A and B are shown apart, each in its own frame.
Chain A
């Protein structure tokens, strides 16, 4: 069984630019979650997509957005990049949650560096 995949592995951007991160869930999973792991801040919940809809978002500004495609893969977009956006971005997938949580399967992450 192929795991959750993320691309690119590393991304270097300049302040003010836009970054696009991609995630492919495990086959059969319809929920995709995005997390930000910045140094010293732990794992912060960003977004949850299920069946193509945004179900919940964490306490992040609107310049963090995303979408889920019909094949359940997902894209995270970060506009107007700031230095503090530098972090490891982790994607996870699970079967549809419907208000309860199943085990999350995490991808290897995308390391975003903003200079």
Chain B
């Protein structure tokens, strides 16, 4: 079965610093989704990537799907306290019958 591994598991950065979160799949990705979760709450959609090499940005967050379509990265520029939370990557399983998620990366931003 397909698995998504996220790294790092947790991250503490100083406000204003840049950071990158990685998501590696054990199989080819046919659609990669990034979500953000505040602890104990629902998930907020950030962006979706479908094509190898695709890159999308929203405000100070940029996500990219690599050419071989087995890894995605999420980059935050000039981090702010509002960026703190849990970032999860999700992908369709090979059969297209479920959206599976990585275990998440917990981001803390110190001011």
Contacts and interface: CB of A to CB of B under 8 A. Distances in A.
A55 B93 CA distance: 14
B98 A48 contact: yes
A100 B92 contact: yes
Interface residues of B, number: 22
B104 A42 contact: yes
A111 B41 CA distance: 9
Contacts of B40: 88, 109, 111
Interface string B31-44: 10101000011111
Nearest to A91: B42
Nearest to A99: B96
B104 A108 contact: no
A103 B44 CA distance: 11
B111 interface: no
Contact of B31 (A55, A88, A101, A105): A101
B103 interface: yes
B38 to A, nearest CB: 10
A33 B42 CA distance: 13
B12 interface: no
Interface of B: 31, 33, 35, 40-45, 48, 88, 90, 92, 96-104
